[in-house]
Structure 1
Amino acid sequence: MHGPAWPAWLLVALCAATGAYCLLRMRSGVEEQRRAAGGEALMGFGMAAMAVPATVFTPPGWAWPLYAAVFGAAALRALWAARGEPHHLHHLVGTAAMVYMSLVMAASPTAHHHPRVGGGVPLVTGVLLLYFTGYVLISGARLVPAAVAAGGTAAVRWGDRPELARACRLSMGIGMVAMLLTM
């Protein structure tokens, strides 16, 4: 990730913590939580690895195509899951965004040769920024009523609480916006 180091480290911490919580959610008694948590953990840790400041660690040239292959496989899995359950389309967009960022970084970490909007932002980056910004705003608005309603559910284990899963997805959406802004 390009730019100042301290925001990048905050993004690394946010994404790694989100990935760790998603790993814990994989132990949930709720099957849907377990299914979604694995992909979300991959996204969280992948985003954390990609957000490490370039001044601290520059991955070798083979790492970016490897990221693209891993997230490409995750995108295929999300596409397969989205056949019957449309809410998996967000996972498809997220993994496709990770493939896109990996390919851009593989091509050239400093120069971008993509169609641009208004002479500055690459077209795909702009579309992804619009999607994830909208996702963050809508998810944040939905999170508040869910957290208030869940306030009295003491019998639900903390790993099974839907508002915490939504908060995880919200934080990864915020992280994606931050990463796309540096593209």
Structure 2
Amino acid sequence: MHGPVSAAWLLVALCAATGGYCLLRLRSAVEEQRHAAGGEALMGFGMAAMAVPAAVFTPPAWAWPGYAAVFGAAALHAVWSARSGPHHLHHLVGTAAMVYMSLVMASSPASHHHPHPGAGVPLVTGALLLYFTGYVLLSGARLVPASAAAGGSAALPWGDRPELARACRLSMGIGMVAMLLTL
């Protein structure tokens, strides 16, 4: 992804920290936490890797199709999981967005990542931006009441705290918006 280097490093840190917390949630005693944590950790670390500034590290040509393959497999898993409930559809949209960004990066020469003046925003990018912006706004609105009402969650282990899981999902949504804006 391209953009200001300091913003890119902040995005790398945010996504890596989110991925790390999601790994911690894999050890949760709550089955719902464990079920979603693996896919969210993959998204967090994948977003962190994709956000590393191009000035620091330019991935080899095979990396972008590799990202597309990994997130394509995660998208298939999300399709399979969506049979059990609609809450898995967000994971499907997220993994599909990662596949899309990987394919765009693979097909664009390094010097042409920025849109040309007057080129506009591609339809898929615009649709994903709308989706993730709405997701971020809705998640943020839901997080505030959940944090205030969760006063008794201080006794829960770190991997079982639902407000932290919601905050991680919000962080990844914000990261996705930032990545799509720089695409």
After TM superposition, is the score higher than 0.5? yes
AA partner of residue 129 (structure 2)? L
Bigger share in helix? 2
Q: What do residues 55-94 of structure 1 show as CA deviations (whole Å, max 9, x unaligned)?
A: 1100000000000000000000001000121100000000
Aligned twin of 2:165: 165
CA distance in 1, matches of 2:40, 2:155: 25
CA distance in 2, matches of 1:120, 1:111: 14
Moved over 6 A (4+): none
Q: What do residues 19-38 of structure 1 show as CA deviations (whole Å, max 9, x unaligned)?
A: 00000000000011001000
Structure 1: which 5+ runs fail to align? none
AA partner of residue 120 (structure 1)? G
Aligned twin of 2:155: 155
CA distance in 2, matches of 1:14, 1:45: 10
**TM-score with structure 1 length normalisation?**
0.94
Q: What do residues 126-172 of structure 1 show as CA deviations (whole Å, max 9, x unaligned)?
A: 00000000000000000001000112233322210111000000000
Of 64-73 and 155-164, deviating more is: 155-164
CA distance in 2, matches of 1:110, 1:127: 25
Aligned twin of 2:128: 128
**TM-score with structure 2 length normalisation?**
0.94
AA partner of residue 126 (structure 1)? G
**2:155 counterpart SS class:** coil
Residue 35 (structure 2) pairs with residue 29 (structure 1): no
CA distance in 2, matches of 1:92, 1:168: 17
AA partner of residue 107 (structure 1)? S
Could you tell me the percent identity over the aligned residues?
Answer: 84
RMSD: 1.4
CA distance in 2, matches of 1:84, 1:12: 32
- Aligned pair in 2 of structure 1 residues 90, 30: CA closer, same or farther (>3 Å)? same
**2:154 counterpart SS class:** coil
Higher relative contact order (CA 8 A, sep 6+): 2
